[in-house]
Amino acid sequence: MKKSLFAFAVTIVALASCTNKEVTEIADSNVIKFDNAFVGKATRASIETITAEGIDRFYVMGTKNAASFFNNVEVYKKEGKWGYDDLKQWEAATYAFAAYSDGGSKINEGVTFSGEEGLKIANYKVNNGEKKDLIMAVSTTNLNEANIAIEYTFKHALAMIKFTLNSGLGSNNITISELTVKGIKNTGTFTLEENDIVCQEGSETIDFVSDDFVTTQTTAGKSDEMVVIPQKGSDLQVTFNAKVQTEDGEVTKVLTANIASYEWKSGLRYNYEATITGTDMDIIEFADPKVDEWPDYTDGGEMELNK
C-alpha cells in the first residue's frame, strides 16, 4: 500500500489506515527521513522555524551516487511531523540533498540540482504586489555512514524595499498615491552552493506601484513592502502624487526622486526615507537606505507572505 512518512527526530507515524505491524516495519526500516527545517539560525528555532506563518511544506531535490534520486518531492508537515509520499530507501551510497519553497508552493520548471553545481532555480519572476518568500537550502547532513534525518537551514533568496515619507509641512496631512518605482528588474536565476545564494538578474523590467498611504505631522507614511529580485543599478526613479489640504485650498503635485545607485541583496530589506518640505512641496531626495535582515515569520512585521 502507499504509505506516508512523518518524521520528527526518529519517530515514525503511519497513516491511520496502516496496521500496527506496518507502523513497526516503517519505524525499523531504512527510509530517508526529514526533520528540523529552519529559516536562519537553527539555534533560534522558536522564532525562525519554517513552519511559522503557514509555510508547512518544502520541495526536495536529491542525488544518489551523482544520479537524480529526489526530483521536486513535496515534504509536508502534519500534526507536528515532517513527511512525504512514495518512500525512498536508504542504502550505502553518496547522497546530496537540497530544498526550496516558493511561499509554500512548488516551482514546476527550471529547478535543477547536482552535488557539484548546487541548487539552481532558473528564470524566476516576481511581479508587482507578489509577496512570496523564496527560500533555498542545501543540506549538510551526512547520510553516507548512517540513515539519519536530513535537516535544512533555509536562506531567503529575494530582497525587499519600501519607502518612508516624513512630513515637513506642519499639521497638514499628506496623502500619497501612485508611488511608483520605475524599471525594476523582475526576473533572475538563483544558484545556491553550500551557504551562498547568487542571483544573476535578468533583463526584463516592470514598474512596482504601492497602495496609497498618509503622512501626518507625527506619523511617517510608509509604502508597501515590495518583494524584488536581488539586483544593482543606477538612476532608479521614484514618482508619486502628494496631495495636501491647506487654508488656501488643495495642493497636488507629482514629485520625482532619483536614487543614484542601489544594490539589493538576498535576505535583506531596504527602507528609503525622505521628508516632504515647503508649501509647494519641493523635489525630494531619498537618503541612503536603512538595511535590515528579512523579518522573521513570527516577528509580527509589517508584511504577510502569501502561502
**Distance separating alpha carbons of residues 214 and 274, to the nearest angstrom:** 14
Query: Cell triple for residue 294?
Result: 528579512
Ramachandran angles phi, psi of 48, nearest 5°:
-110, 15
For residue 26, the surrounding DSSP H or E stretch is: helix 20-27
- pLDDT, tens digit (0-9, with 9 covering 90-100), for 248-295: 778 889 999 999 999 999 999 999 999 988 766 777 889 999 999 886
pTM above 0.85, yes or no: no
Domains of the chain: 4-108+123-156 (2.60.40), 159-187+204-293 (2.60.40.3740)
Q: Which residues contact 116 (CB under 8 A, 6 or more apart)?
A: none
Compute the mean pLDDT over every residue in the chain, rounded to the nearest whole number: 80
- The predicted pLDDT at position 22 comes to 37
pLDDT at position 3 over 50: no
Percent of the chain whose predicted confidence (pLDDT) is above 70: 77
For residue 132, the surrounding DSSP H or E stretch is: none
pLDDT confidence tier of residue 145, bands split at 50, 70 and 90: low
List, as one string, the DSSP characters of 242-288: EEEEETTEEEEEEEEEEEEEEEE-TTEEEEEEEEEETTTT----PPS
pLDDT at position 39 over 70: no
* Residue 206 contacts residue 127 (beta carbons within 8 Å): yes
Q: Which residues contact 31 (CB under 8 A, 6 or more apart)?
A: 5, 12, 87, 88, 89, 90, 147
